[in-house]
Amino acid sequence: MGFITQVDPQTPQGSSTEKEPNNMEMQKAFSSSQAAQVKDNRRRHEFILYGMMVTCFVMLALFIFLFLSKYSEISEELKELHLNNSEMTMSVLKDLDDIRAKQEIIQKSLRNDFSELQGITASICKHVSIRFSSCPPKWKAKENACYYFSSGTKPWSESLSYCIGQSAHLVSVESDEEQEFLRNTISTKGTHWLGTTDKEQDEKWRWSEDGSVVSISFWDIGEPKKGYNKDCGIMYPNGSWAADACSLPYHWICKKRLIC
């Protein structure tokens, strides 16, 4: 008699242990596919990143190249402008030197003519007993010259202009007697400008009247001192001379030579 094996109707065909390996394989396959996709995305992103970096590098290199090219162009233009400016400056300075040289020649010529005229006038006056001119009011006479002692003060150049406007010049001192006369007159009136200056040539003191070198001088001890803009001569109340800045305000002395 045979045995019949009872089949449990609630138990499906095939065991659950047979399906579990299939699910695990599917999960593994899905995980592998997902990892491959992530890997592909990463590579794509890296490629894009590298591409952007290369593009930025190329653009930076292009920018640097353009900058250097423009800088070189501007530098050349600046050099050319500087060269042109230097040439123009040299040309202007040369023209100024030429003008100064011509001006100096004219001044020397005028001084020589003035000196000759003075000599001729003195020679004529020596043989003529009639006096053709006299000192203006408020001017002091001394031998063949008139002197004006200012009450106000001015810088040296303005004092010189005032004297020239009076057909005179800032005073020059030509003898001990003239120095004594000036000293006695200004003894109580303060410091006065003299007509001597070394503006044309440093430490070469000349009279502004005719450009002649100062041959008789009464410099104080240590004078004339070297200093910034100390190019004009002054006379202290005691009669001693000194050098000072021409821009300072002092009294002044005009000297007008008489015709006869």
Same domain, 156 and 253: yes
Whether residue 148 is contained in a domain is answered as yes
Same domain, 169 and 244: yes
Same domain, 172 and 233: yes
Give the separation between CA 246 and CA 193, rounded to whole angstroms. 9
Same domain, 60 and 145: no
Query: For residue range 134-175, what is the model confidence (pLDDT) as tens digits?
Result: 889 999 999 889 999 999 999 999 999 999 999 899 999 999
**Boundary residue ending a domain (84, 103, 122):** 103
Whether residue 211 is contained in a domain is answered as yes
The owner of tokens 């100390």 is 230
The owner of tokens 């001006």 is 103
Residues of the chain predicted below pLDDT 70: 1-32, 100, 103-104, 107-119, 121-122, 125-133, 227, 259-260
Same domain, 222 and 144: yes
Whether residue 2 is contained in a domain is answered as no
Whether residue 111 is contained in a domain is answered as no
Same domain, 93 and 163: no
Residues 6+ apart with CB under 8 A from 155: 246, 247, 248, 249
Helices and strands (H, E) in the chain, number of each type: 3, 8
Per the confidence metrics, is the pTM higher than 0.85?
no
Residues 6+ apart with CB under 8 A from 224: 198, 203, 205, 230, 233, 241, 242, 243
Give the separation between CA 243 and CA 255, rounded to whole angstroms. 20
Number of domains making up the chain: 2
The CATH number covering residue 208 comes to 3.10.100.10
Same domain, 204 and 96: no
pLDDT at residue number 11: 47
Tell me how many degrees the CA angle 172-178-179 measures, rounded to the nearest 5.
80
Whether residue 122 is contained in a domain is answered as no
Please say whether the beta carbons of 144 and 125 come within 8 A.
yes
Domain of 174, in residue numbers = 140-257
pLDDT at residue number 165: 93
pLDDT at residue number 162: 95
Whether residue 3 is contained in a domain is answered as no
Please say whether the beta carbons of 234 and 241 come within 8 A.
yes
Quick one: which of 93, 72, 94 has its CA closest to 80? 72
Same domain, 152 and 243: yes
Same domain, 73 and 144: no
Same domain, 232 and 158: yes
pLDDT at residue number 45: 78
The helix (H) or strand (E) run that includes residue 60 is helix 16-126
